[in-house]
Chains A and B, each alone.
Chain A
Amino acid sequence: METLEQLAGADDGTDAPVADPMGRPPGTTRRRIQLVLAVLLAAGLAYWSFVEPKIFTTVLTVLVAVGLTAAMWIAANLLFDQVRNRWVRFSVLAFGGLGALYGIVLHGNRTTVGSGEGFLTWVIGPLAGALAFGAIAGGLALTDDPARRRAIALGGSVAIGVATALLIRSEYQPEFDVTATIVYTLVGIVLGTALSLLRKRPLVGGALTGGAIGWIVGAWGGAELGGGSFVTTLIACLVPAVLIGVRLGMSSNPGYAARVQIDDNSRAVIFVGPAVLFIAVMLVIPAIRTFYLSLYDQDSVEFVGIDNYESVFTNKTSFDGTNWTNMFTSIPFVIGVILLAIAAVVAVAMKKQTGRALELGNATGAPLVVGILLVCFGAFTALRGTLINNLWWVVTVTFLSTALGLAVAVLADNRGGERAAKSLIFMPMAISLVGASIIWRFVYAARDTNSDQTGILNSIWISIGQLSTGSGLPSLLATAVIFLALVLAMAFLAKALVARRWSAAVMPGVMTILIGWLFIRFAGIIGGGMGGFKITESGEIVPSTVLFVQESPYNNFWLMIILIWIQVGFSMVILSAAIKAVPTELIEAAKIDGATDSQVFWRVTLPQIGTTIGVVVTTLVVLVMKVFDIVKVVTNGNFGTQVLANNMYDEAFKFANRGLGAALAMIIFFSVLPVMYYNIRKMRREA
């Protein structure tokens, strides 16, 4: 926790308001400003809610929800505050509450004599129930004599059973369904016993409770209501009443230690229960049901086994490998292979020089990583389909966001204007994915080449084309600048080579190749120039746009850029905080030992932030796996950009194929399971 606060504090340059139990919060002026702002905000909201009925409803909903939650929660806490020292009061209140619930259910549903539409219905039923249950609980709590307890429990319980049977209206009197009653009672007994076995409690108690519940379900749930007589109703009521009475009579008042136990356990339920209930209802049960739905057909009627999954994996739109040979002719693949070859050569040299072919920060790394990435790119452009697209998204966005985020974090570290720069790069995080998609749609816009371009990328691209193919002074100047840069890179390369510092030669070497290629293309030595132009049949040079959104397969990459634009800020913030948390002593020690800045970064800083990089990567993988908004807004899955989440949305909510939609959702879920497993293992180790 301390590290966390340090991280947060280090990032914004002020001390984090670490809770100070003694008062005197830091930054009182800031606090006051915040307070004033909060009051203004509240006042604005209040005013707004009077002007706009929608906001009024919203504010009212929030107030009622929060108020009710707080009231119920506080009431539960106050009730269980009595457990330790006021057992009688606690039992009467707790059982009274149960009785009130019993009364509400019976009387409120108009199943009992005397219930009606009136307000009294909601008073008499609960009150009677509360009094009856409370009386039994009070009697039990006041005596420790086993015989007397048995008498009170059985007597009271039977009395309630008989009273209920008497009060049930004739149209609710159940028929007696012997089989259902017996079957459910037996099931209840077995379950109750098993539960007691698990909780290491006396088995009879569990069997009795289970039997009672089973009897109620069987006798009331299984039978036709209204077809019975008073006798059948009495049977349906009395048997569970006796069972519960016997069960209650067996118990004894808990001693102080047991009461402490009850207190603690109840707190756990009161504190953790509501949230767990929310998670169960909103996440866990729906997820299980989705799995169930995925095994059925589109209307969830017929069981089809794994057919839905099979159709996803065999469908041409999910995976299309017919043109896989295109991979070998794609430009990224070729460049990637060349880079891998360079990496191999460098690895041999490094092995000779340092004894290790590959380690953090040595010269093999850069060409190796970029080479692998480009080869993957080549593969992804040749293999098509939804699954491949998702994989492509995950690899590209995760890698580039993390790498760029790390780069920016390092670049900005302790540099002038650090906060401003980081704020601006972080800003897209606050913009919705829909908004970001709109923003980038305008960046990617391509218009008829007869008119001006409104998209900045195409505009630049066409300008480069004009510069490259033109012959005026600007063209010459641009060529000269690139040539100069090439010479510079070559000079650095030569310097490093002469000094025989191979590791220092790799960077200038790569730059030489890149700038050299740029020069060759720009000067028109290969392909007649670069940029947005094409040569017509009559030999005329006309501008030509890139259709960023429509041209498959690279349109996928342009969509990924949008998410990268957003997520770089995320990884930058986290990695920047991690870098600042690296102990200065470590870095100082390394420097005293003569390490260069580069060595400090690769050998000290990077290993120190390794786990944080892991966190960033796993978070991004999960996030990218379910990418939806961008694809939906920009292409809606057209032009070969379909991804799993959008496919799932279409199938489930547009084409009403629930089975297939559920299967696609489950596939997204299964693909993040490894990450979940990794997270759980990490938590286990830390907790």
Chain B
Amino acid sequence: MAVTAPVLPDSEPTRRPTPGEVMGSGTRRGPSAVDRVYGFVRAIPTGVLWLIVIVWSIPTLGLFVNSFRSRDAQRGSGWWLIRPDDLTIENYDTIFGARNGLGNSLLNSAAIALPATIIPIGFAAFAAYGFAWIDFRGRKPLFIGTVALLAIPLQVALIPLLQLYVSGAKFTIPGIDKTITIIPDLDLAGTTTATWLTHIGFAMPFAIFLLHNYISGLPKDLFEAARIDGATHFTIFWRLVLPLSVPALASFAIFQFLWTWNDYLVANTMIGANVRAQPTTVLIANLAGDFGKNEHLLPAAAFVQAFIPLMVFFALQRYFVRGILAGSVKG
């Protein structure tokens, strides 16, 4: 693959089948063996494309098939050698039946993903409107600073945030050695609350960037007309911008839902060993950690974990795509 990758775009455009178009100098000489070969070669790009598609789909297909095979079948032969009497749903039974098993972790995943998706929408929409349409001093540097944080690795915030959830935040006044509690210990360590709070903070730069792209592109006349009619920023935002921005809000919500549902790093750091609060990703990673013993349950667990995002993905793909585009392509 390493070798063919840069070659494909090079070879492809020259051989693209263009119906009705006379290609190359060879064709003018009439059909010959070379031309027939050329015709075969022209079909290669389509073949290559579908070959890539198949290669890309096989791993997931294998997981899906294996999730319905018993432990012995999984260990005995490859999933492509499937026989109908291998099929069983006992893996699913086992993972859902276990105490603090997949059912519990699905609830936890929902308990993280729902607040982490819905709560930041409002904050980000306010800020995006503020950056786009309210003129205040320091707007540009503040906005650029916010968006620059898009690239900040989450790792730099994890240690202090975990400390915050474990013991609150305290500040010692210099000189007079007196400690003030700025944020009390809210006993958030190992909870889903800590996880979604963290997600909200981390999502903010991206949310503002995405919504700002959309809201700043709304027609300027709209705002001028509204202002002349005496509407305040509050009214304009509430009555005009919010209803118009629904597609962008949906894009962000889907993006954020997939991100938080699939997140492992934040959940594992904030929840760690608390099995009662573990989301699906942490559960599956732990399951994968104890080698051998429960390996036959992994396909079923991983498939259930992926099922919800895949449904969201296929149902709302256009919004997801728009979110990705808005987050990356500008101007």
Contacts and interface: CB of A to CB of B under 8 A. Distances in A.
Contact of B134 (A59, A268, A597): A268
Of A74, A427, A573, A628, most buried by chain B (CB within 10 Å of CB) is: A427
A290 B245 CA distance: 37
Contacts of A679: 147-148, 150-151
B2 interface: yes
Contacts of B269: 649, 653
Nearest to B251: A8
Nearest to B57: A424
Contacts of A665: 153, 155-156, 158-159
Interface string B194-208: 000110111011001
Interface in B240-272: 240, 244-245, 247, 258, 261-265, 268-269, 272
A429 interface: yes
Interface string B287-331: 011000000001101100110011011110110111011101111
Interface in A461-492: 488
B49 to A, nearest CB: 4
Interface string B49-65: 11011001111101100
B171 to A, nearest CB: 11
Of B11, B193, B200, B324, most buried by chain A (CB within 10 Å of CB) is: B324
A683 B144 contact: yes
A400 B10 contact: no
Given A452-B76, A597-B16, A423 B151 contact: no
Nearest to B49: A411
Contacts of B89: none
Given A272-B131, A282-B200, A442 B76 contact: no
Contacts, number: 449
A514 to B, nearest CB: 7
A433 B159 contact: no
Nearest to A441: B288
B135 to A, nearest CB: 7
Nearest to A606: B9
Given A1-B213, A441-B288, A274 B60 contact: no
B39 interface: no
Interface in B25-62: 34, 37, 45-46, 48-50, 52-53, 56-60, 62
B110 A58 contact: yes
Nearest to B232: A81
Contacts of A151: none
Nearest to B298: A438
A21 B223 CA distance: 12
B9 A454 contact: no
Interface in A656-687: 658, 661-662, 664-666, 668-669, 672, 675-676, 679-680, 683-684, 686-687
Nearest to B193: A61
A54 B278 CA distance: 13
Contacts of A62: 114-115, 118-119
B321 A573 contact: yes
B240 to A, nearest CB: 8
Interface in B186-239: 192-193, 197-198, 200-202, 204-205, 208, 213-214, 216-218, 222, 232-234, 237
Given A267-B134, A665-B155, A680-B148, A423 B322 contact: no
Contact of B284 (A65, A278, A435, A459): A435
Interface in B122-163: 122-124, 126-127, 129-131, 134-136, 139-140, 142-144, 146-162
Contact of B299 (A1, A369, A442): A442
A661 B200 contact: no
8 contacts: A14-B318, A58-B115, A287-B152, A404-B52, A438-B284, A442-B299, A454-B74, A649-B265
Interface of B: 1-3, 5-14, 16, 18, 34, 37, 45-46, 48-50, 52-53, 56-60, 62-63, 66, 74-81, 107-108, 110-111, 114-115, 118-120, 122-124, 126-127, 129-131, 134-136, 139-140, 142-144, 146-162, 164, 173, 175-176, 178, 180, 192-193, 197-198, 200-202, 204-205, 208, 213-214, 216-218, 222, 232-234, 237, 240, 244-245, 247, 258, 261-265, 268-269, 272, 281, 284-285, 288-289, 298-299, 301-302, 305-306, 309-310, 312-315, 317-318, 320-322, 324-326, 328-331
